[in-house]
Amino acid sequence: MQVLVIGCGNPDRGDDAAGILVARRLRERGVRAQEHKGDGLALIEAWSQAEHAILIDTVVTGAPPGTISGCLGTDAAMLRSASTSSHSFDVASAIELARVLDRMPGSLRIYGIEGCAFEPGTEPQAAVLATVERIADLVLAEVQRLEAGGGELDLAEAR
């Protein structure tokens, strides 16, 4: 079963590095994980052939830094209203376009990590880094479950 993990963000902009750092942690553990700077068209191309895709990105909802939010790709409208990506063509826009173009993966899970410090050249906050480790563990378990033919994790397990 093909599972693709995509970490989005900018590794040189503080908390925006969270998705990229999760992808790197997962690659260290043998998971097929890609890094993307958030370009919506590149995301569509990456996930369009995947049976299951899991995307991790930094979000801004007003919650405390490091807070986990999650949704399924079918909830893109909720994602747009609840969070703001630091990318101009955000994940919700990529999902909407992929639907129109019939380029969605079989399933799409999105994990958001709350951030608030995006200064160029800075490191992510400690709360964000702790959540990176937690999400890496959760995604690893989800990938293993999906590859074994099981279902997706309940989003409540991530919180």
Model pLDDT for residues 22-73, shown as the tens digit of each residue: 999 999 999 999 999 867 888 899 898 899 999 999 988 889 999 998 877 6
**Which of these, 23, 71, 15, lies nearest to 46 by C-alpha position?**
23
Question: What is this structure's pTM?
Answer: 0.85
Q: What percent of the chain has pLDDT over 70?
A: 82
Q: What is the dihedral of CA 10, 16, 17, 20, to 10 degrees?
A: -70
Confidence of residue 90 (pLDDT cuts 50, 70, 90): confident
Q: Please, which residues bridge with residue 57 across strands? A: 112
Q: How many domains does the chain have?
A: 1
Query: Residue 143: which domain range?
Result: 3-158
By the 8 A CB rule, do 57 and 9 touch? yes
Q: Evaluate if residue 157 carries a pLDDT over 90.
A: no
Residues in CB range of 29: below 8 A, 6 or more apart: 136, 140
Backbone angles phi, psi at 69, to 5 degrees: -125, 155
CA distance 33 to 53: 10
Q: Evaluate if residue 79 carries a pLDDT over 70.
A: no
Query: Which CATH number fits the domain that encloses residue 29?
Result: 3.40.50.1450
Average pLDDT, the chain: 85
Confidence of residue 84 (pLDDT cuts 50, 70, 90): very low
Which pLDDT value is given to residue 38?
67
In Å, the largest CA–CA distance within the chain is 42
